[in-house]
A and B are shown apart, each in its own frame.
Chain A
Amino acid sequence: MAVELSLRDFYGKTLVELGKKNPNVVVLDCDLSGSTRTSLFAKEFPARFFNMGVAEQDMIGTAAGLAAGGKIPFASTFAIFATGRGWEQIRQSVCYPQANVKIVASHGGVTVGPDGPSHQAGEDVAIMRAIPGMTVIVPADAYDTAAAVRAAEEFTGPVYIRLTRDKFPVIYEESRKFEIGRATTMKNGSDVTFITCGLMTHAALIAAEKLTQLGKSAAVLDMGTIKPLDEPAVLKAALETGAIVTAEEHNIIGGLGGAVAEAVSGNVPVPVVRVGLPDQYFSSGTPEELLEAAGLTPEHLVEAAMRAINLKRGGKA
C-alpha cells in the first residue's frame, strides 16, 4: 500500500509557510476552517484571517476587494459551495477584472462520502473552466497540492484549486514543483495514454501496470492544470499513442474529459474514451463504495483502455 496523505492538511501547512514569507497573503473561510485547514493559518496569523460566516458570495466579493488593495487572498470552503454559491461573484468580481484571488476548495468529488450528494461536488471544474480568465488546478496528491498552492501564490490572477476530503496515495516526491499549464508524464507507453487528474492519476498508474500484464503499453499523463490545458502534451499523446483515456473524479460533462476531447477533436482526432462520474447524483456511502459505483477504479480504467485501443484499430465502441 502506498503512503496516503491529506491534501487539505498540506494546503493548511503551505498557507502558513506562505504567510510567513509574504505579509500580503490573507485567508478567508466560510465557517469550515477546521475542515479546509485554513484554521492552521488563522491560528498563526489571526489578523490576516477572515471568517466570513456561512456567506460564500460575500467571501468571494470581500476577497476581490482585498485583492484590489494589493493582498493575495486565499478563499476556502467546500467545492460545491465555493463554486456553486459563489459562481457569479467569481465570474463578475474576480475573473472578469482578473482580481488576484485564489479559491482553494476542499471536498471535491464523491469521495466526500457519507455527507451525500448535497456535499459532493461533481460540477465544480466544469463551471470554473467555463469562466474566461480562470486557471483550474486539480492536484493529484498532498505534495502536488503544496506545490500547486505555492505556484498559485506566485502566479498573478484568479486560480481555482480543487482538493478533497479524503487522503490520497502519494505519487509525487516532497520536492515536487508545480508548473501551471504543464502536464507531467508519470509513465511512458505506446498503445494508449491515460490523461488524468486528482485521485485518478494514481488509479491510472495501477491500471497501466495491469495493462502491461495484458501485453499493452499505457502512458500516464497527469494533467494537474485543467485550464489552461497543456494542449501540446495532449496532442503529442494523441499522435504517439493514437488513443486516449481521460479519467477524473468529476462529472463526465465539462471537466478534464471535455477539455481533452475539445483539444483532440479539432487537431488530432483519435479515440478519446472518457471516464468520470456519470451525469447523476450519487448517495451517501464510503468513498470506496462510491468510487466503485461510479466506475472510478483501476479495473474500469483497464476496460476503458482496451476499448480505446480497439477503437483506434477501427473496432466498434
Chain B
Amino acid sequence: MKKTKNIAELQEIARRMRIDVLKMIHLAGSGHPGGSLSAADIIVSLFFSIMNHSPEYKKLDARDKFVLSKGHAAPILYAVLAECGYFPREDLWTLRKLDSHLSGHPYAPSTPGVEVTTGSLGQGLSQANGIALSDRLDKHDTNVYCLMGDGEMQEGQVWEAAMSAAHYKLGSLIAFLDGNELQIDGWVKDIMNVEPLDKKWESFGWHVQRINGHDFTAIMGAVEEAKKVKDKPSMIICNTVKGKGVSFMERLAKWHGTAPNSDELRRALAELGAE
C-alpha cells in the first residue's frame, strides 16, 4: 500500500470513511456509530500512513498487523479495509446481513484483512501479544497494532495481557486506547472509573504517551516515538470524542449502539459534506 503523510489527504479519507460507516450502520439497521467515529482517525492513520500492509500479502508474510480489540467498531475497520482494496466497497452495504462476510464483529476467517476474531471485549490484546511473539520467533521486523476502548479497560484479561506484553518485552507492540470517556451505560468515570490510565500502564511496564486522537500529526508522531522503544510495549492513550464528526452524536452514550434513521443519516451526511 502507498502511504501518505499528507494531513489534508488523511482528513479527506477519514471524512469519506465516516460517511461509509454511517451508511453501513443505517443500512444494517443496527451497529455502533459512536465508537467507530471516535476511532476513525486512529485507524485511518494506521492503514494509510503507518502500517506496512497490502491486500497482496499472504497471511504468513512479514507485514504489520492490526487487531481491533474493541470489535464493535467493526464498521470503521471494514470501511478502511474496503478502501485499501481488501474487498469491494459494495460489500460494505451487506454489513450484518445473513451470508455477508461482514459480521457484526470482526471474524478473521471470513473477512480479508481481519487478523483475529474479536467482539468479546478484553480479548484482543492477548491475541496481539501472541502475534507479536510469533513474529519474533519468525524474526520479522514488523509491528503489531492493537486498538482498545476505555470501557474495555475494566476487563481483567486486559491487565493480564498488559503484564505479559511487558514481561516478554514486546517492543514491536503498539497499542492505542480510544479514550472517548463513554461506554454503554454512561460515562466511564461513573460506571467504573479506570483512570489514571497513564499511571496504570506505566506501572505495568509500558511506554506511555497521551495525545489528541483526532490529530493526525500527533498520531503519526506518537507511533514514530513508540517505534524507538525496543524493550517495552507502547501504549498511546488518545483523547477522543465519541461520535466525532457528527454534532448530534458527539459525547452521547445513546449513540454507542444506535443506528441512524433516514432523517438522522441525511443530517449526518450533510454535516460531513457527502455528495
List residues of A whose CB falls within 8 A of some B CB: 26, 47-48, 50, 52-53, 55, 57-58, 60-71, 73, 88-89, 92-93, 96-99
Contact = CB atoms under 8 A, between A and B. Distances in A.
Given A55-B163, A55-B164, A96-B107, A61 B130 contact: yes
Question: Which of A50, A57, A65 is packed against the most chain B CB atoms within 10 Å?
Answer: A65
A236 to B, nearest CB: 35
Nearest to A88: B120
A55 B160 contact: yes
Interface stretch (B108-116, B211-219, B247-255): B108-116
Contact of A62 (B107, B108, B130, B138): B130
Max count, chain A CB within 10 A of own CB: residue among B108, B130, B157:
B130
Interface string B111-140: 000011111101101111111111101100
B129 A69 contact: no
B129 A62 contact: yes
B156 interface: yes
Contacts of A73: 130
Contacts of A60: 126
B108 A57 contact: no
Nearest to A93: B123
A64 B60 contact: no
B245 to A, nearest CB: 30
Contacts of B122: 57
A68 B133 contact: no
B263 to A, nearest CB: 36
A141 B117 CA distance: 36
13 contacts: A26-B133, A52-B164, A55-B157, A57-B160, A63-B130, A64-B126, A64-B127, A65-B129, A66-B131, A92-B118, A97-B109, A97-B116, A99-B116
A99 B126 CA distance: 14
B123 A89 contact: yes
A48 B137 contact: yes
B131 A69 contact: yes
Contacts, number: 111
A57 B126 contact: yes
Contact of A97 (B59, B117, B125, B156): B117
B126 A92 contact: no
Contacts of A97: 107-109, 116-117
A53 B163 contact: yes
B123 A62 contact: no
B126 A89 contact: yes
Given A68-B108, A68-B131, A93 B117 contact: yes
Contact of B160 (A48, A58, A63, A93): A58
B contacts with A: majority SS? helix
A98 B239 CA distance: 35
A58 B126 contact: yes
Rank and list the top 7 A-B pairs by shortest CB-CB distance, nearest first.
Answer: A65-B130, A69-B134, A61-B126, A58-B160, A55-B160, A65-B127, A97-B117
A57 B164 contact: no
A93 B164 contact: no
Contacts of A47: 137
A296 to B, nearest CB: 36
Interface string B160-176: 11011001100000000
A290 B116 CA distance: 43
Contact of A68 (B134, B156, B157): B134
Contact of A61 (B132, B157, B163): B157
Contacts of B118: 92
A61 B132 CA distance: 12
Nearest to B67: A65
A57 B116 contact: no
A69 B130 contact: yes
A63 B130 CA distance: 6
B218 to A, nearest CB: 28
Nearest to B116: A68
B106 to A, nearest CB: 10
B137 A71 contact: yes
A62 B137 contact: no
A236 B116 CA distance: 41
Nearest to B155: A57
Contacts of B130: 61-69, 73
Contacts of A71: 134, 137
Contacts of B127: 61-62, 64-65, 68, 93
B157 A89 contact: yes
A93 B126 contact: yes
B77 to A, nearest CB: 15
B27 to A, nearest CB: 25
B118 to A, nearest CB: 8
B164 A53 contact: yes
Contacts of A64: 116, 126-127, 130
A95 to B, nearest CB: 10
Given A71-B134, A93-B127, 12 more contacts: A57-B160, A61-B126, A62-B161, A65-B116, A65-B128, A65-B129, A65-B130, A68-B127, A69-B138, A70-B134, A93-B117, A97-B117
B116 A93 contact: yes
Contacts of A52: 160, 164
A52 B167 CA distance: 9
